Amino acid sequence: MTEEIIIKEAPEQEISINMGPQHPSTHGVLRLVLSLKGEMVQKVEPHCGYIHRGIEKMTESMTYQQIIHLTNRLDYLSAHMNNAAVCLAVEKALDIEVPERVKVIRTIIEELARIASHQLWWCSFGMDLGGLTCFFYGLRDREKILDIFEETTGSRLIQSYNCPGGLMADLHPDFQRKVKEFIVYFRKLLPEYDELLSGNIIMMERSKGIGVMTKEQAISYGMTGPSGRGSGFSCDVRKHHPYHAYDKVKFNEVLRTEGDTYARYMVRIDEMRESMNIIEQLIDNIPAGDFAVKMKPIIKLPEGEYYQRVEAARGEFGIYIISKGEKYPYRMKFRSPNFSNLSALDALTRGHKIADLVAIGGSLDYVIPDIDR
């Protein structure tokens, strides 16, 4: 008797994997539900809300001075920019012109914060790709900036240095010297970043042509900041809607048209150089004067709607206030850059491998408290 051997081809099965909320490369408590075929990612479904704190609701029972401290807790790496957004909104609403000195100092600190944020991004991007050494190189340099912050603003990570009408305190006498020293130091060490990671053949293979996003797609997803500029979307708020002292300095908006992970990477590396250029132009020209204008202890915004946007380290941070003339805002809405950038993750990663998902996630540079608010 002959036995018939039937070979059935097993149907290709999609498996779903929970990546997070506890996972080394989701950079926090983000949960991604992946559908995989083998190693290929078919679908990514981000589930937010694991550290939702209801900050927008909390602001409805807080004065504007208090809200500033809450905005620190959104994107903690660009805390200074978030503070500035609230201050600018309040100052615009009350028609207060802050002194030139305040504008310049705010700009310098903001650019320092941007460099620090991009350094930390570089650390974690290196780690996502498996190059653990990057982490320590980036943090070594970031430490210098945090030391400067500690001296002048009183704290290292979330400074709350801005307040409506100006700054909390004047500059530390060592500030200018230390910033200049840092610029000299970091100009020497930034090429080290390129040697270690940017020029590495494995890194280029891993990131070039991975997660390509066209300009149209980037605009439709609302990708801003370095992630959007990597796709050629000119979205730098500092350029298009200048605030602080950005209209007085010369700097280039870093744009790349490739739209892949490597482009997003290089935009951030080049932005660190541009930030140093901005600081160099301003550090010797800090005008003398007051560091704040006198404000009333209780700020009441006139009835109306106000919107202010700033360029945070990860993109456009917007703040929308509806005031009924009370000391508390009636409603406050934050437009956080990470939330929009995360929405593009699914489109970016389809058809790529898990390893690419991690690299793309790293290049989007999400900060989870900013997504969940």
CB of 41 to another protein, least distance (A): 11
SS3 (DSSP) at 322: strand
CB of 30 to another protein, least distance (A): 14
CB of 130 to another protein, least distance (A): 3
Which of 133/257 has CB closer to another protein? Answer: 133
CB of 35 to another protein, least distance (A): 12
Which of 184/202 has CB closer to another protein? Answer: 202
Q: Which two tokens stand for residue 118?
A: 């991009």
Which of 131/242 has CB closer to another protein? Answer: 131
Distance CA(296)–CA(192), nearest Å, equals: 49
Which of 115/123 has CB closer to another protein? Answer: 123
CB of 127 to another protein, least distance (A): 6
CB of 148 to another protein, least distance (A): 20
Distance CA(59)–CA(67), nearest Å, equals: 6
Helix axis angle for 100-129 and 79-94, nearest 10°, is 150
Distance CA(271)–CA(44), nearest Å, equals: 29
CB of 206 to another protein, least distance (A): 6
Q: Which residues bind another protein (CB under 8 A)?
A: 15, 17, 23-25, 39, 126-133, 135-137, 140, 196-197, 200, 202-203, 205-206, 353-356, 358
Which of 105/357 has CB closer to another protein? Answer: 357
Which of 109/129 has CB closer to another protein? Answer: 129
DSSP 11-70: PPPPEEEEE-SS-TTTTSS-EEEEEEETTEEEEEEEE--TT---HHHHGGGS-HHHHHHH
3-state helix, strand, coil in the chain (%, to 5): 50, 15, 40
One-letter amino acid at 140 equals: R
Distance CA(326)–CA(61), nearest Å, equals: 10
CB of 194 to another protein, least distance (A): 14
372 phi, psi to nearest 5 deg? -85, -35
CB of 354 to another protein, least distance (A): 5
Tell the residue number behind the tokens 């370095």, with chain if given. Answer: 226
Q: Compute CA distances 30 → 284, 331, 370, 372, whole Å.
A: 43, 27, 11, 9
Q: Are 77 and 119 in contact (CB under 8 A)?
A: no
342 Cβ neighbours under 8 A, 6+ residues apart: 30, 46, 48, 364, 366, 371
Which of 133/252 has CB closer to another protein? Answer: 133
SS3 (DSSP) at 97: coil
Which of 236/356 has CB closer to another protein? Answer: 356
Which of 137/366 has CB closer to another protein? Answer: 137
